[in-house]
Amino acid sequence: MRTLALSDEILMRVEKPARYIGNEVNSVVKDKTKVSVRFAMCFPDVYEIGMSHLGIQILYSMLNEWEDVWCERVYSPWTDLDAIMRKQSIPLFGLESQEPIRDMDFLGITIQYEMCYTNILQILELSQIPLSAKERGEDCPIVIGGGPCAYNPEPIADFFDLFYIGEGETQYRSLFDWYLENKRKGGTRLTFLRGAAKIPGIYVPQFYEELYNEDGTIQGRKKIYEDIPDVILKEVAVDVTNIPYPMKPVVPFIKVTQDRVTLEVQRGCIRGCRFCQAGQLYRPVRERNVDKLKEYALTMLQNTGHEEISLSSLSSSDYSKLDELLDFLLTECGQRHTNISLPSLRIDAFSLDVMSKVQDVKKSSLTFAPEAGSQRLRDVINKGLTEEDILRGATLAFEGGWTRVKLYFMLGLPTETEEDILGIGDLSNKIAAAFFEAVPKDKRVNGKVQIVTSTSFFIPKPFTPFQWAPMCTKEEFLDKAHLTKQGIMSQLNQKSIKYNWHEADVSVLEGVFARGDRRVAKVIRRAYEKGCLFDSWSESFHNELWMESFLECGLDIGFYTTRKRADDEIFPWDFLDCGVTKAFLLREWKKAQEETVSPNCKQQCQGCGANRFGGGICYET
């Protein structure tokens, strides 16, 4: 009989107690005496966000298919429970067994967003695991990091025993087999890590040392052991059709961010936007077989009872079998009264035709992402989208019955001018005008159109052509947002346009963490000790504590953000190989400054280097 880790009294005192009790439909409970490896899979944010993450569902399902492994889930306790656990010394626990994380063999943490870094320290401290990897004894779990932020793990390297670089379907079995073999031989934590460092895709930070120049830039890296790799190549599941997929996703008791079945149709993106990290990290593009996707969809709907299915990819409209898959889903979902969600569509007639099929009755809002207000700047970022494309798409949408459009832009992009910024308001106005031109007065259901224009602030990311680019200061970002607002307010159709913008101070911090080195770890730890937690939640973010921490640790924010990098600078992440070469990224950086567009992968190969993996779009005829 399972005993809950929290008493009824505590559960009654916290918000949403269902976050902490487990036992949901399709959760996996095993006999712990019959498994050899216990693995806690963590998303360092609240349950509702972590439960919406497909990657965890995939790994949870895959690991639990192995008889000798029991994978449990753990999320960040919200601040109310956090305070109680600290006061009463209650150790953090896995949802399935309700037993302490510290008693498990592995703690795996997926790192999707830089502003979750202090939550990682919360997870470790509440689990009663030393924050520093070097301080952990033989009885501590092995702490693994993975996910997109692991492509520059250096700012948090001190807190992890190892990082898994790339897609999780390929090497976990090898890692566990080595763990069990080392255990049988009476090996130590150190001997396990030394062996793990030789497994493809595994990076053990404590075996490497960063060397710095006098100006603070990186001089190079020194290995502690000669038999470990100089460069770690990411792991890629080349054949995405025949890798594990969660046929029985865990169904939450409470409403979560994405309460639906998720169908991943492909990995990667052909487009090559120069600001987009995911578009580079997940190359090459690999499609799932459409017949397999049809089978997955029916099975998962049957096993979950969800009333919505979402097609997941970086660019769903680029999936070659989208028409066939949608025709099938429309028939099947229509019979089941199940909704279909289609994020990541482009602004074109095909996408709008697709949207009209799935939104026959209720025309909800459409989302377009022009990213920049002028054609010149869209060419700089290689968006591959013209104003004509945008206005034609908007017109078709309005003629099709849509009256609400969301527009996403970025401020602070490389080479941006005042004209580019004012172009955001101009383009928003032209889209509003397209509505009044396309829809006669007598057919305007609500009388007007609503354009919601949102701007985020550009943050240069590793493994993108813009990794060399300088970033704006907080004050510059706010000036740009103010100018954008002025530009919108000066438009003829300003009453039809609503403007939102992102927090500038959060963006600056994200920029530090994105391109930071190992010295940033002491700032993260200091800020956590001062009380920083749930930094991605505006109500919990305390910028003044972060500024104090940088000051006390003697680190200059501008060194990581506003400084332009030399072409030959060694980056903190250069020892990792994500598949695309640095030479290709530098070539794209130069082309950006020349305002030159590169064709997408289907039009012409750009020689990025991802063909070395031997599959995907690189080998299609």
DSSP notation for 343-397 = -S--SSHHHHHHHHHHTSS----EEEEEESSSHHHHHHTT----HHHHHHHHHHH
Confidence category of residue 90, pLDDT binned at 50, 70, 90: very high
Confidence category of residue 505, pLDDT binned at 50, 70, 90: very high
What type of residue sits at position 174? S
Task: Give the predicted TM-score (pTM) of the model.
Answer: 0.96
Q: Strand 308-312 relative to strand 261-264: parallel, antiparallel, unpaired? A: parallel
pLDDT at 113 over 90: yes
Highest mean pLDDT among 318-332, 435-449, 484-498: 484-498
pLDDT at 277 over 70: yes
Confidence category of residue 365, pLDDT binned at 50, 70, 90: confident
At residue 187, the pLDDT reads 98
Q: Which residues contact 500 (CB under 8 A, 6 or more apart)?
A: 452, 453, 454, 455
CATH no. of 260-360+578-621: 3.30.750.210
Query: Mean per-residue pLDDT for 361-387?
Result: 86
Residues in the chain: 621
Q: Which residues contact 204 (CB under 8 A, 6 or more apart)?
A: 161, 162, 193, 194, 196, 197, 228
For domain 8-233, say whether CATH 1.10.510.10 is its number.
no
Is there a common fold for 8-233 and 260-360+578-621? Answer: no
Give CA 28 to chain center in angstroms.
25
pLDDT at 360 over 60: no
Query: Mean per-residue pLDDT for 571-593?
Result: 98
> Where along the chain do its domains lie?
8-233, 260-360+578-621
At residue 384, the pLDDT reads 87
pLDDT at 456 over 60: yes
Span of 41-50, 175-184, 332-341, 425-434 with lowest mean pLDDT: 332-341
Instruction: For residue range 163-179, list pLDDT tens digits in order.
Output: 999 999 999 999 999 99
pLDDT at 362 over 90: no
- The span from the CA of 585 to the CA of 501, in Å, is 29
570 HSE (CA, 13 A, CB side): 14
Q: Strand 366-371 relative to strand 339-341: parallel, antiparallel, unpaired? A: unpaired
List for the chain the helix, strand, coil content (%; round to 5). 45, 15, 40
At residue 497, the pLDDT reads 96
Burial of 475 (0-12, 13-18, 19+ CB in 10 A): exposed
Query: Mean per-residue pLDDT for 564-570?
Result: 96
At residue 447, the pLDDT reads 67
At residue 361, the pLDDT reads 41
